[in-house]
A and B are shown apart, each in its own frame.
Chain A
């Protein structure tokens, strides 16, 4: 059995090994390393990686011949100055993060320069930025589309019903104990000169209904629907309010005033009939493929009858609705009439009240 060889001087042996190991480490590391004189920037040492990044410089090369060196005059020992530089290897753009630090070596000051190749990191950054912008753009388009769809749906159903539909996918029919409905129709609509020109007609109706929508909104009512030249608005649906009859009466008066003011300045003279009625109603979305929010109940039919019985530019309402608003609005009784489906009813004309409202049109 032989003994293991023992170095004559173990300290010397390990020091030599450590030096060789350090050198091997510096050469094999994936970071470009160079030692540079502070005075004159002469390159004293560079590892293989550094050479690869900048080509193989001849002797006596200075660092500023290889790259744009930042101002290192204020660099304190222990501190690190970092900058990014771009070099081109063949046709490939390479981005390097350069770290500079000051060290003392045998009484002279040197810079230790480390070059980290961060090209892939930069490429990834650009790619993520590009992708993020793309996603943002798509999201904006999606949001716009959603808003457009929402606006369309809000045109055909009240917001609370829309929210219910959005959250649960279905809506439940709601019963409203007391609400009011207004129906407006134009007199001799088909005979009007403007009806011969479809584009002009739509433009006029669009203008008038937009004005109506603003009035409806002003009094917390809802436009339920328009059917041809007819406009239907409700109050007390889907949010119950004790003032539903007053709000619908104000709406009716402002509708009429809006038409009068409009007629005063336009060639085309519009005349409307307005019927109002109050009572319990059921509100629900009807249909699955084509959503229509509609309300049902005798008051709907009664409002339609009132509108039919009204004279041009007259607002007609039954006694039950008149009871809600008596004292606040000027009403004129008209002779009792036979109303189809409802028997003989005492009816009233809504003649005023709007002058005292102090509300402005549009």
Chain B
């Protein structure tokens, strides 16, 4: 069986400028920050990012990596609005496709099922409908008279997700309260990369936990990165909670170009508290 272990740098080596990249997690929860950080250090640019957005989005926007964002929201949870994302939007720097959260799920699911679209009511009558000129409706072929939105598939060139545990083959497990949409991101992607807190032998995955926690199957995973602290400063419950101080430092770093440069230096260089052990393991 294939051993798919690789480093964060090797993952980013498989990405190209201009790609559409889906990022798992939700807001400030279980974001693949070690992989995002590696993108920040790379020369990748012109990316289309698909995300239930948290600091992953703000960081990539502030670093000029994003051409287009496909999203339903961007929030840091305890800090409701991400200042880096806001600044990029208010400067008109990035293109957006804004969808209802459920529409986004539907788009990923459609891509994963190799369908061109899935029908939904969500979006009808809202600015999401009028703001995405490419969206189309479809008439109920069974005669209810309803016109529904045909939510287009959102195929991804790559998916990046972070889980609590994985084996070397790509079976991966969440141990927190919610799987979010990580399996749909992987299913929708040409290549899917999973970072995790710990790589363990396969049998260990279910020694304590129910098999239902194994939301990623190895057949949709191309690479596995062991990255302890790899979601930091977002949460990765039960391994660790959100790092509130780092989150606030991140938010405060939008105050000026100097503050951002300082944060980036500290956050990306390793050694600092922000970058703790994940750096050493993935560099």
The judgment on whether A and B are partners is no
Q: Give residues in A with beta carbon < 8 Å to B.
A: none
